[in-house]
Amino acid sequence: MITIAVDAMGGDMGPEVTIAGSALALKCHSNLRLIFYGVANKVEPILKQHPNLITCPFYATETATAMDEKPSQALRNGRGKSSMWHAIDAVKSGEADACVSAGNTGALMAMSYFCLRMLPEAERPGIAGIWPTIHGESIVLDIGATIGADANQLVDFAVMGAGMFRALYHIRKPSVGLLNIGVEEVKGLEEIRKAAHLLRTIPSEVLEYKGFVEGNDIGKGTVDVVVTEGFVGNIALKTAEGTVQQVSRILNKAMHQSIFSRLGYCLSSGAFRYFRQRLDPRKVNGGVLLGLNGVVVKSHGGTDAEGFASALHVGYEMIKNELLDKIAIDLRHFHEKKPIFTASKDGSG
Amino acid sequence: MITIAVDAMGGDMGPEVTIAGSALALKCHSNLRLIFYGVANKVEPILKQHPNLITCPFYATETATAMDEKPSQALRNGRGKSSMWHAIDAVKSGEADACVSAGNTGALMAMSYFCLRMLPEAERPGIAGIWPTIHGESIVLDIGATIGADANQLVDFAVMGAGMFRALYHIRKPSVGLLNIGVEEVKGLEEIRKAAHLLRTIPSEVLEYKGFVEGNDIGKGTVDVVVTEGFVGNIALKTAEGTVQQVSRILNKAMHQSIFSRLGYCLSSGAFRYFRQRLDPRKVNGGVLLGLNGVVVKSHGGTDAEGFASALHVGYEMIKNELLDKIAIDLRHFHEKKPIFTASKDGSG
């Protein structure tokens, strides 16, 4: 049995979406158990609407973390009180194996860090996002947990991202690339070149280092795991989201320009459905907070029930495939094999 | 009369594209004069194919800068010899008003910097790209001239980008945003917050500062000018390019799935033509090297004749609207009005 703690209050739509999504997820996984945390008068009426959730434990919490609270504020106001805090704390206490929330990302990061602490092998947390590509999906990290990363931290991201990819897609040695502004070895920031040196020289059974990749390689799916620090990763993610919106808007406008294009649009409705599905963020919803001493999945705040179910599925797979234990072993393995663990003096590319 | 020096050898296709594009541009602008630089046996046969170019001066050069030469290598090999160098040098000597090349970006940047030097008012060069948006076009800079930028340099980029937007689109006070990972004042890197403080406090007649923008705001066209440093700008640009390719590939696949979708595709062919045109990089081709003591336009290396003509058009408009003089005045104005010109001690947001 795999138990997931659900922050029922998180997300733009709150319990309406998180509970409907939970009901969907439970239909797919017979050995999944859910625990709900939320404000009673908001959650209970909706829980009652879903017969398959009746046996799930529900814990009433005093508050919910607002979507616009600053991380420090959320931690101060929510510690020991909010649904988000309690859902994370259930992972710490061992009551749940993982936690899923569609709430405020900064708050989730801060509370998880404060409550669960880091894996002893990891230095810095990262948020790993699942990115739809031409061929399927890639994992990109960090998409905004922290700003900046040195060479060792980038290597840790590579190892953790590969572990997550393996857990989700069952590929033995996922390919890994470092995001840079050129593929030549001399290009880009020094810490990225140092990380490249480390990834090239440390023999690994858990990932295959493919060199530098550029921004356009992400959508192409050139590698399974794209590694970058949080500022750049967040800008890249949002730029891609904006571009998909932009392209869809222009396409929509184009298809309604004339009677012919409208007729064509009707005839091609199946094709457009396929097109939208392939780009549907709900299908690949779920950023995972990596490096922490527990599995915490962040669902997109604006998602619907199907999207939230998909985030629960990600949490489920992480636990089923023993992500944390494996990541800890992989990180230890990498750290032991590092020539000398002082990348700052080492490997200028 | 406006004179542009054309590096006829640059680009993936070389003279075939640059010369055909030049012939196109000349048809649009009656007061445009072109000077060609290139290797004689490559350029002369193609020049002869275009009757309207017969009177244009052509200077034979010893070499051409290869697309894969490193900047330092290109400078060493090309100085005083290559078509790229001579085209830039024509701007320095005053023989031409601007230079356009579809060649190696790093080499063009290095040679332009070496040959033309900086405007006394600017500290660091930037490449400004024209970005298609839902509403029209925005300018994004720096998209890869240099890595990193402090607060003062970001402010300079804002002023120069606004100057370029004004020259191209005739908007008196273009709106400017700083690219960041959140719109709240406390977010992001310190230098970006400092730049925000400067842009907020310095009264300006030449730009309207709108605050932070995120990656998804670029495609939306939230502001006319998006300011960032070169590493992030380059990753954002290439991520967007990759996303457009990805979306187009998926759409194409969708439209060929069934007989109905294919029929629909035929009926909507006009709509798809409009769609492709709106996303056509050739229509907005031309990155401008800003901050230098001369106008240098970089055309996309993989463009066709129409795209190269569009880069020539950008160069033409920059000169016609006296971009350099205006940018110099605007920068001086900003520097004079800065409270104290030590942003590092100032304005932590």
Pairing of strands A175-179, A225-227: parallel
Tell me the three-class secondary structure of B12-32, residue by residue.
Answer: CCCHHHHHHHHHHHHHHCCCE
pLDDT band for A38, please (50, 70, 90 cuts): very high
Q: Angle at Cα A86 formed by Cα A83 and Cα A92, nearest 5°?
A: 150
**Chain B touched by A135 (CB under 8 Å):** no
Maximum Cα–Cα distance across chain B: 68
Q: In 10 A of CB B128, how many CB atoms? A: 30
Please report the pLDDT score of residue B282 as a whole number. Answer: 60
Task: Give A-chain residues touching B264 at CB under 8 angstroms.
Answer: 263-269, 271
Q: In b/e form, how buried is each residue of A128-164, taking b as 16+ CB within 10 angstroms?
A: bbbbbbbeebbbbbbbbbbbebbbbbbbbbbbbbbbb
Mean pLDDT for chain A overall: 89
Q: Is the dihedral of CA B180, B217, B318, B3 positive or negative?
A: positive
- Interface probe, candidates A228, A246, A253, chain B, greatest B C-beta count within 10 A: A246
**Chain A touched by B239 (CB under 8 Å):** yes
Q: Angle at Cα B189 formed by Cα B184 and Cα B195, nearest 5°?
A: 80
Please report the pLDDT score of residue A347 as a whole number. Answer: 41
Q: Which of B181, B271, B272 sits opposite A234 (nearest CB)?
A: B181
Q: Which of A218, A237, A267 sits opposite B267 (nearest CB)?
A: A267
Please report the pLDDT score of residue B256 as a whole number. Answer: 75
Cβ of A243 within 8 Å of Cβ of B244? The answer is yes
User: Which residue is closest to A192 within chain B, CA to CA?
Assistant: B231
**Chain B touched by A66 (CB under 8 Å):** no
User: Which residue is closest to B217 within chain A, CA to CA?
Assistant: A242
Residues 189-208 of A with CB under 8 A from B: 189
Residue A67 has pLDDT above 60, yes or no: yes
Model-level pTM greater than 0.90? no
Residue B46 C-alpha, separation from nearest chain A C-alpha, in angstroms: 33
| Burial class of residue B311 (count of CB atoms within 10 Å of its CB; 0-12, 13-18, 19+) | buried
- Interface probe, candidates B68, B187, B247, B278, chain A, greatest A C-beta count within 10 A: B247
Q: In b/e form, how buried is each residue of A66-80, taking b as 16+ CB within 10 angstroms?
A: bbebbbeebbebbee
**Chain A touched by B264 (CB under 8 Å):** yes
Cβ of B243 within 8 Å of Cβ of A245? The answer is no
Please report the pLDDT score of residue A259 as a whole number. Answer: 75
Phi, psi of A288 (to 5 degrees): -110, 130
Cβ of B236 within 8 Å of Cβ of A231? The answer is no
Task: Give A-chain residues touching B218 at CB under 8 angstroms.
Answer: 239, 242
Pairing of strands B137-141, B225-227: parallel
- Interface probe, candidates B135, B243, B275, chain A, greatest A C-beta count within 10 A: B243
**C-beta separation of B302 from B170 below 8 A:** no
Strand order across the beta sheet in which A208-213 lies: A58-60, A32-38, A2-7, A98-101, A295-298, A287-290, A126-132, A137-141, A225-227, A175-179, A208-213
- Interface probe, candidates B186, B213, B216, chain A, greatest A C-beta count within 10 A: B216
HSE at residue A117, side-chain half, CA atoms within 13 A, is 5
Task: Give B-chain residues touching A133 at CB under 8 angstroms.
Answer: 246
Q: Angle at Cα B208 formed by Cα B204 and Cα B214, nearest 5°?
A: 135
**C-beta separation of B235 from A235 below 8 A:** yes
Please report the pLDDT score of residue A343 as a whole number. Answer: 45
The answer to whether the complex's ipTM is over 0.95 is: no
**Chain B touched by A186 (CB under 8 Å):** yes
Ramachandran region of residue B126, left (φ > 0), alpha (ψ -120 to 50) or beta?
Answer: beta
| Burial class of residue B44 (count of CB atoms within 10 Å of its CB; 0-12, 13-18, 19+) | middle
HSE at residue A194, side-chain half, CA atoms within 13 A, is 19
Ramachandran region of residue A214, left (φ > 0), alpha (ψ -120 to 50) or beta?
Answer: beta
Please report the pLDDT score of residue B135 as a whole number. Answer: 83
Q: Angle at Cα A185 formed by Cα A181 and Cα A190, nearest 5°?
A: 70
Spatial separation of the C-alpha atoms in residues A263 and B146, rounded to whole Å:
49
Residue B101 C-alpha, separation from nearest chain A C-alpha, in angstroms: 20
Residue A40 C-alpha, separation from nearest chain B C-alpha, in angstroms: 32
Please report the pLDDT score of residue A134 as a whole number. Answer: 86
Spatial separation of the C-alpha atoms in residues A331 and A119, rounded to whole Å:
10
User: Which residue is closest to A132 within chain B, CA to CA?
Assistant: B246
Q: Which of A218, A219, A249 sits opposite B134 (nearest CB)?
A: A249
Ramachandran region of residue A5, left (φ > 0), alpha (ψ -120 to 50) or beta?
Answer: beta
Cβ of B242 within 8 Å of Cβ of A263? The answer is no
Residues 277-316 of B with CB under 8 A from A: 278-279
Structure-block tokens of residue A342? 């002082």
Residue B113 C-alpha, separation from nearest chain A C-alpha, in angstroms: 19
Spatial separation of the C-alpha atoms in residues A95 and A87, rounded to whole Å:
10
Cβ of B215 within 8 Å of Cβ of A230? The answer is no
Tell me which residue of B144, B140, B162, B160 sits closest to B152, measured CA to CA. Answer: B160
Q: CA-CA-CA-CA torsion for B267, B273, B276, B277, nearest 10 degrees?
A: -160
**Chain B touched by A342 (CB under 8 Å):** no
**Chain A touched by B69 (CB under 8 Å):** no
Ramachandran region of residue A235, left (φ > 0), alpha (ψ -120 to 50) or beta?
Answer: alpha
Instruction: List CB contacts of B264: < 8 A, sequence separation 6 or more.
Output: A263, A264, A265, A266, A267, A268, A269, A271, B255
Residues 71-130 of B with CB under 8 A from A: none
Tens-digit pLDDT profile for chain B (349 aa)?
Answer: 999 999 999 999 999 999 999 999 999 999 999 999 999 999 999 999 999 999 999 999 999 999 889 899 999 999 999 999 999 999 999 999 999 999 998 899 999 999 999 999 999 999 999 988 888 899 999 998 888 999 999 999 999 999 999 999 999 999 999 999 877 666 678 899 999 999 999 889 899 999 999 999 999 999 999 999 999 999 999 998 888 888 888 777 777 777 777 777 777 777 667 666 666 656 667 789 999 999 999 998 888 999 999 999 999 999 999 999 999 999 998 888 877 544 444 444 3
Q: Between A and B, how many residue pairs show a Cβ–Cβ distance under 8 A?
A: 205
Cβ of B188 within 8 Å of Cβ of A240? The answer is no
**C-beta separation of A153 from A235 below 8 A:** no
Task: Give A-chain residues touching B275 at CB under 8 angstroms.
Answer: 250-251, 254
**Chain B touched by A268 (CB under 8 Å):** yes
- The residue assigned the tokens 């004339």 is A258
**C-beta separation of A10 from A301 below 8 A:** yes
**C-beta separation of B334 from B343 below 8 A:** no
pLDDT band for A279, please (50, 70, 90 cuts): low
User: Which residue is closest to B234 within chain A, CA to CA?
Assistant: A181
Task: Give A-chain residues touching B232 at CB under 8 angstroms.
Answer: 231-232, 235
Q: What is the DSSP letter of B63?
A: B
